[in-house]
Amino acid sequence: MDDYFERLKKGSLKLYALEKELPPEEAVRVRREYMEMTTGAKLGSVGSFTMDISRAVKRNIENMIGCVQVPLGVAGPLKVNGEYADGSYYLPLATTEGALVASVNRGCSAITQAGGADVRILRDGMTRAPVFAARDVLHAQEIVTWVRGHPDEMREAAESTTSHGRLLDVVAYVAGTSVYLRIEFDTKDAMGMNMITIASEKVAGVIERETGARLVALSGNMCTDKKPAAINFINGRGKTVLAGVRLSDSVIRTIFKTDAESLIEVNYRKNLLGSARAGSLGFNAHAANIIAATYIACGQDPAHVVEGSGCITTAEKVEGGVYMAATLPSVQVGTVGGGTGLDTQHECLSMLGVDGGGEPAGAHAKKFAEIVAAGVLAGELSLLGALAARHLAQAHRDLGRG
């Protein structure tokens, strides 16, 4: 052990190279103890975990020293009437925010009492957008013309890199001599960023060869990945999902201690008008809360909460109650690849019946997206109800989170 510490200290052995000399478990332990020695921090809790780290160090993380634990709760049962998710589910939520799970749980109760949330996926396509440099604007037009006229060549190139993905569309955008191609793929049960990056590189090679365009970057930020963007808000990225429920006056009174008119006014003045006045790209109460907690629990990339937060929540008066809906333009989820194979995350996916690949391919990811959307709707209902009844601060005080 001392020999490894001395070599790490001298720099003759790099932290990332420990796995080349030691089994994964031992490499992680040595690295953690070296961090304790270097920083003076005690990392005993970080070193206590049940995860199979041999997979993690190969696929999910570098310079691993242990695991950070996040409390995991469940909300439900939540009745979902989707094309892929049709039944009652307990939603796993990993969070350190007190009162969140209780709030979502209340929304689940309202939805279930109302007969369930109706959920539909409007479109499904993950994007990558390389940027090319043209010689001048005439050349830029030539590149766009070639792209529009040769979909088969681009599709053949893209699909030669994967047995799962399928190229759906390529849309060109131009700014001076910069040409951006927003390439969209069906990635089946994978979230698919690795898949489509490799496929996009192949497509870019064909475009360079055929048009003389110069590839500047494989991502030109019109994808748009992990950043707020109007293009995702309007066109969608990943899965565009709608979830709606009709709540009766009696359910609103019993569960939320308010009435339909108050719910509608809070939604209008807060979610719609307030968001517009602020210039927000999200017109919702706290969709990001449910998305982040579900993504962390289920091995999704939590950075995609950025796109997921671009949700529009609507409330309309109907006879005998209110119709509430959540529109999520960009739900980016997968049930294979990434963090979905880690032990605890895989268990959370299995609670929802979406672990691994679906039959047919893509069915599990779609089912998961429908459940996420219904969970967001539950969270929106509960927070709007608390605000309408002026119970929000009291709920936090009662749960000891004031």
Residue with tokens 């039959």: 359
The active-site residue out of 26, 97, 208, 259 is: 97
* pLDDT tens column, 255-306: 999 999 999 999 999 999 999 999 999 999 999 999 999 999 999 999 999 9
List own/partner pairs for 334-337 with CB under 8 A and 24 or more apart: 334/187, 334/189, 334/190, 334/191, 334/192, 334/300, 334/365, 335/189, 335/364, 335/365, 335/368, 336/189, 336/190, 336/364, 337/190, 337/191, 337/192, 337/194
Domains present along the chain, CATH in parentheses = 2-59 (no CATH), 72-124+237-398 (3.90.770.10), 130-217 (3.30.70.420)
Q: Is 281 helix (H, G, I), strand (E, B) or coil?
A: coil
For residue 192, how many C-alpha atoms fall within 13 Å in the half-sphere facing its CB? Answer: 34
Q: Are 323 and 245 in contact, with CB atoms under 8 Å apart?
A: yes
pTM for the model stands at: 0.95
Stated as kind and residue range, the H or E segment containing 329 is strand 321-331
Q: Check if 346 is active-site.
A: no
* Cα→Cα distances 382→96, 156, 280, 356, 390, Å: 18, 48, 21, 31, 12
d(CA 135, CA 178): 9
Q: Check if 86 is active-site.
A: no
Q: Check if 364 is active-site.
A: no
Q: Which of 308, 167, 288, 291 is nearest to 237 (CA)?
A: 308
Q: Are 184 and 201 in contact, with CB atoms under 8 Å apart?
A: no
pLDDT in tens, the chain (402 residues): 789 999 999 999 999 999 999 999 999 999 999 999 999 999 999 999 999 999 999 999 999 999 999 999 999 999 999 999 999 999 999 999 999 999 999 999 999 999 999 999 999 999 999 999 999 999 999 999 999 999 999 999 999 999 889 999 999 999 999 999 999 999 999 999 999 999 999 999 999 999 999 999 999 999 999 999 999 999 999 999 999 999 999 999 999 999 999 999 999 999 999 999 999 999 999 999 999 999 999 999 999 999 999 999 999 999 999 999 999 999 999 999 999 999 999 999 999 999 999 999 999 999 999 999 999 999 999 999 999 998 765 655 565 554
Q: Is 263 helix (H, G, I), strand (E, B) or coil?
A: helix
The active-site residue out of 301, 346, 347, 391 is: 301
The active-site residue out of 150, 346, 391, 396 is: 396
Start-end of H helices in 280-362? 287-297, 305-308, 343-351
The contacts of residue 363 (CB under 8 Å, 6+ apart) are 84, 189
